[in-house]
């Protein structure tokens, strides 16, 4: 239930909301969210005999700590702090305050969200779903195998051309972000599936047509990312995978499983085409969480 601002604070808060609408043109939903946060702040202060223009730094610290204690996430608390900061900067600008009660209060560290991945068993189940006797599913199997074996971005996969394949060497040459090229090994299973598809399913899909795209659509054109995403969802349902997955989930699984098996982080960085090692380091956190989960599940004192 929304809490009401104190009588002394409500005009001050409403003026600020009006200013937000005039100066920034925020949506009604955003304005209501700001108003709700500020009304709740005012209500809490009123219980302490204070108000939004009377409070101090200690009040703000206590309030934020209480919000975290009630189970609010670091992200929600950071958003609340941002709302309050904007409010007090406006009051300083308008000359209603001499000091900012939120000065030098740091926002909680959010960290980077861990990428969604799949277990190795889930990946095996997913890759086993396409039927090699159906041309379009043979294509899909080759795509899934290559996506997982080489850690490609879905845009790199659907736009793959014959000139990028090194079938004799078992590698694929990929042009990633920033037009940076990288050579990535396919692995034996992906190479085997790809060669079988090139001999069988692909000629059936093209029906005597021509295309330089390795994985054409039914119409012989480059497949869209959305189309492939729907194909992945189809096989995930068949495999009984309940988690929401996308083609990018297989790229994350590729990196996570490499790190789990001891691959050097800089090698994973090169394979993924990350320009900065810090981007790749997220997978060390994924591996650490997996180890902790295994320890909790199997150690007698976990």
Q: Which sequence positions are flagged as catalytic? A: 153, 177, 248, 251, 274, 283
- Calculate the CA 173 to chain-centre distance: 26
Listed residue (115, 121, 145) closest to 239, CA to CA: 121
Q: Which residues contact 260 (CB under 8 A, 6 or more apart)?
A: 287, 290
- Neighbour-count burial of 187, counting CB atoms closer than 10 A to its CB (0-12 exposed, 13-18 middle, 19+ buried): middle
Q: Are 45 and 52 in contact (CB under 8 A)?
A: yes
Residue 33's φ and ψ, nearest 5 degrees, are: -65, -45
Dihedral sign from CA coordinates of 220, 192, 170, 180: positive
Q: Are 235 and 247 in contact (CB under 8 A)?
A: no
Q: Are 253 and 123 in contact (CB under 8 A)?
A: yes
- Neighbour-count burial of 254, counting CB atoms closer than 10 A to its CB (0-12 exposed, 13-18 middle, 19+ buried): buried
State the Cα–Cα distance between residues 16 and 34, nearest whole angstrom. Answer: 10
**Is 100 in a helix, a strand, or coil?**
coil
Residue 36's φ and ψ, nearest 5 degrees, are: -60, -45
Q: What is the largest CA-CA distance in the chain?
A: 82
Q: Which residues contact 257 (CB under 8 A, 6 or more apart)?
A: 120, 123
Beta pairing partners, 302: none
């Amino acid at each position: 239930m929304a809490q009401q601002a104190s009588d002394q604070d409500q005009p001050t808060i409403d003026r600020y909301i009006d200013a937000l609408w005039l100066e920034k043109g925020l949506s009604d939903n955003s304005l209501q969210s700001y108003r709700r946060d500020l009304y709740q702040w005012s209500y809490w202060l009123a219980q302490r005999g204070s108000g939004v223009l009377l409070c101090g730094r200690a009040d703000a610290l206590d309030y934020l700590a209480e919000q975290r204690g009630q189970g609010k996430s670091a992200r929600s608390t950071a958003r609340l702090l941002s709302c309050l900061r904007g409010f007090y900067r406006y009051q300083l600008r308008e000359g209603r305050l001499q000091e900012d009660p939120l000065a030098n209060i740091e926002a909680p560290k959010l960290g980077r969200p861990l990428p969604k991945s799949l277990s190795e068993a889930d990946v095996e189940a997913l890759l086993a779903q396409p039927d090699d006797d159906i041309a379009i599913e043979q294509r899909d199997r080759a795509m899934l195998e290559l996506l997982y074996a080489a850690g490609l971005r879905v845009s790199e996969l659907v736009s793959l051309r014959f000139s990028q394949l090194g079938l004799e060497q078992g590698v694929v040459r990929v042009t990633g972000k920033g037009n940076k090229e990288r050579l990535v090994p396919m692995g034996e299973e992906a190479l085997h599936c790809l060669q079988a598809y090139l001999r069988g399913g692909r000629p059936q899909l093209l029906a005597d047509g021509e295309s330089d795209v390795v994985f054409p659509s039914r119409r012989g054109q480059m497949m869209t990312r959305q189309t492939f995403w729907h194909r992945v969802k189809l096989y995930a349902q068949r495999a009984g995978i309940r988690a929401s997955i996308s083609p990018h989930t297989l790229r994350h699984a590729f990196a996570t499983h490499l790190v789990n098996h001891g691959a050097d982080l800089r090698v994973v960085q090169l394979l993924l085409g990350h320009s900065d090692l810090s981007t790749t380091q997220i997978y060390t956190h994924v591996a650490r969480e997996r180890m902790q989960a295994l320890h909790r599940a199997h150690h007698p004192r976990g």
